[in-house]
Amino acid sequence: MRPTFVIIGAQKAGSTFVQRALQDHPQVFLPPGERRFFEDPFFSNGGLADLDSTFQAAGAFAARGFKCADYLSEELVPKRLAQHLPEAQLFAVLRHPVRRAVSAYYHFIKRGALPVVHHEEGLRHILDGTWANRYPMVDSILPYGLYGLHLSRYFEHFEPSRLRVLLFEDLMRDKSATMEEIYRDLNVDDQFQSTNLSRRSQAVNYSLPRLRLLQFRKPLCFRWASGRSDAEVPLGAMSTAVWYATEAIDRYALAKWFGNPPPQLSEELHTQLISYYEEDRRLLERLLERDLQEWFLDAGRVASVT
């Protein structure tokens, strides 16, 4: 059996929340984690066989799907999904692009792809190109938020009815109502109440002292390779064990000592980032037929990222 839906992203925008709110629904089959079947190099290395293997026993479920938050921005994925899953319902969750970029910046520091540098310095290096090609994923952090560009590729291959686009801000405002809409799209019981609605998914570590202390695990947990949007684990199960052990130390010890203050953007940097996304915002508004200016009304003020 092939999947009936795919959560295509966006990265650091709430897709994991939607995934977890679907996983405990009794009529839905959705494996944990990211499933990169249609992304290079996985697609050419047996991605479709892995897909069929994953879903071969899922026929009893009314809805069957998976998540990969990088799919939204991967140029080749829309055509592949349309070719192999033409009837699938797609879900995209979009977050204010500046807040998403800052969240992604700290996420990749934690994942060992960027140096532990304050966002005021690091994001300026990314904006002016001085970090280009120096670190894994550095050239993707800002383009990930070009939602209009990415969605336009999907609309070339899928009818609008096949792609539900959610805004993170709407989702957080009324989680139950949003999940009811998703359940209806999937033709499952829309009155089901997920036990994960109050759970905060993928909380970002913004504390530079904590991130510096966690750097010792980098050679044990991460190995970044060209052509991949995720890190390989150099020591297999041992890498996984180190990761979860140090995450527990960070959560229950380091977080209490250092806290996790949300980063503040200077007015200058915030304005530069708003400007970076302005043209794409107009394209996104046309695609969604929705005024998104509320995302940009605070362009002249210091922004708090939560």
DSSP of 57-95: T-TTSSEEEEE-TTGGG-TTHHHHHHHH-TT-EEEEEE-
In this predicted structure, what is the pLDDT of residue 200?
67
**What length does the chain have?**
306
Q: Which domains does the chain have, with CATH numbers?
A: 1-202+277-294 (3.40.50.300), 207-261 (no CATH)
* DSSP assignment of 172-215: HH-HHHHHHHHHHHTTS-TT---TTTTPPPS-----HHHHHHGG
pLDDT in tens, the chain (306 residues): 899 999 999 988 999 999 999 999 999 999 989 999 999 989 999 999 999 999 998 888 999 999 999 999 999 999 999 999 999 999 999 999 999 999 999 999 999 999 999 999 999 999 999 999 889 889 999 999 999 999 999 999 999 999 999 999 889 889 999 999 999 999 999 999 998 887 766 689 999 999 999 999 999 998 887 666 677 888 889 999 999 999 999 999 999 999 998 899 999 999 999 999 999 999 999 999 999 887 776 543 434 444
What b-and-e string marks burial along 53-65, b requiring 16 or more CB atoms within 10 Å of the CB?
Answer: ebbeebeebebbb
**Rounded-to-integer distance, Cα 46 and Cα 298, Å:** 46
Predicted pLDDT of residue 93: 95
Backbone angles phi, psi at 44, to 5 degrees: -80, -10
Surface-to-core class of residue 128, CB atoms within 10 Å of its CB (0-12 exposed, 13-18 middle, 19+ buried) = exposed
